[in-house]
Structure 1
Amino acid sequence: MADNEQTITIDGQSYNTTELSENAQNQVLNLRVTDQEIARLKQQLAIYQTARVAYARALSEELPKEKH
């Protein structure tokens, strides 16, 4: 583990993960994996939102223009 991965701060209190119980260490790992997955999903959402804007713009350009 890298040095910055050996501590975790929860509710303003820092803990050395190597001093935590095995169950607590597993929960820390679960939190880190979950945080990584949330970040990945946020990136995907940003990509999809950007694509949606592009598709909507392309559709708008293809629609018949109103004649006045």
Structure 2
Amino acid sequence: MPTITIDGIEYDTETMSDEAKAQLGSIQFVDRKIAELKAEVAAMQTARNGYARALSEILNKE
């Protein structure tokens, strides 16, 4: 039986109404976008740290 857990509560997706399934789809869409944004932020933070290290090296040579 397919189930999904939302906020710690498990739901049977086969007995969900169409309205509930639509809301579930929206939640899943938002969760995917949040995961994508977190990955982007991590990549940008890594790049920023690299730029900061490079700047520090340049400034230490001056």
Q: Do Structure 1 and Structure 2 share a fold, with TM-score over 0.5?
A: yes
Q: Distance in 1 between matches of 2:30 and 2:6?
A: 15
Which runs of no fewer than 5 residues in structure 1 stay unpaired?
none
Two-structure CA RMSD over aligned residues (Å): 1.9
Which runs of no fewer than 5 residues in structure 2 stay unpaired?
none
Which has the higher Rg, Structure 1 or Structure 2? Answer: 1
Alpha-carbon spacing, 1:11–1:59, altered in 2? closer, same or farther (3 Å): closer
Give the structure-1-normalised TM-score.
0.77
Q: Aligned residue pairs: how many?
A: 62
Give the structure-2-normalised TM-score.
0.83
Runs of 4+ in 1 over 6 A off after TM superposition: none
> What percent of counterpart residues are identical?
50
